[in-house]
Amino acid sequence: MTKDRQIAIALPTVRRLPMYIAVLEKAAQDGQAYMSSPQIAAVLGLEAIQVRKDLEAVGGTGQPRVGFPIRELIAAIETALGWDNATDAFVIGAGHLGTALAGYRGFARYGLSIIALFDTDPRKVGQTVHGKEILHIDKFADLVARLHVHIAILTVPAEAAVEAATRAAEAGIKALWNFTPAKLTPMDGVIIERVDLAASLAVLSSKLSSVVRSAEPAKPEQAGQI
Check binding of 222 to a copy of itself (CB under 8 A): yes
For 141-159, letters b (16+ CB in 10 Å) and e give eebbeeeebebbbbbbeee
Check binding of 97 to a copy of itself (CB under 8 A): yes
Question: Which residue in 28, 41, 44, 171 binds a copy of itself (CB under 8 A)?
Answer: 44
Check binding of 116 to a copy of itself (CB under 8 A): yes
Check binding of 49 to a copy of itself (CB under 8 A): no
**Gap between the Cα atoms of 219 and 216, Å rounded:** 6
Least distance from a copy of itself to the Cβ atom of residue 212, Å:
6
Question: Which residue in 51, 70, 151, 168 binds a copy of itself (CB under 8 A)?
Answer: 151
Please choose, out of 47-55, 63-71, 120-128, 206-214, the segment that lies near a copy of itself by the rule CB under 8 A: 206-214
Question: Which residue in 41, 75, 115, 129 binds a copy of itself (CB under 8 A)?
Answer: 115
Check binding of 208 to a copy of itself (CB under 8 A): yes
Question: Which residue in 1, 31, 122, 193 binds a copy of itself (CB under 8 A)?
Answer: 193
Question: Which residue in 37, 59, 211, 218 binds a copy of itself (CB under 8 A)?
Answer: 211
Which residues make Cβ contacts (< 8 Å) with residue 34, sequence separation at least 6?
63, 66, 67, 68, 69, 70
Please choose, out of 59-67, 68-76, 102-110, 119-127, the segment that lies near a copy of itself by the rule CB under 8 A: 102-110
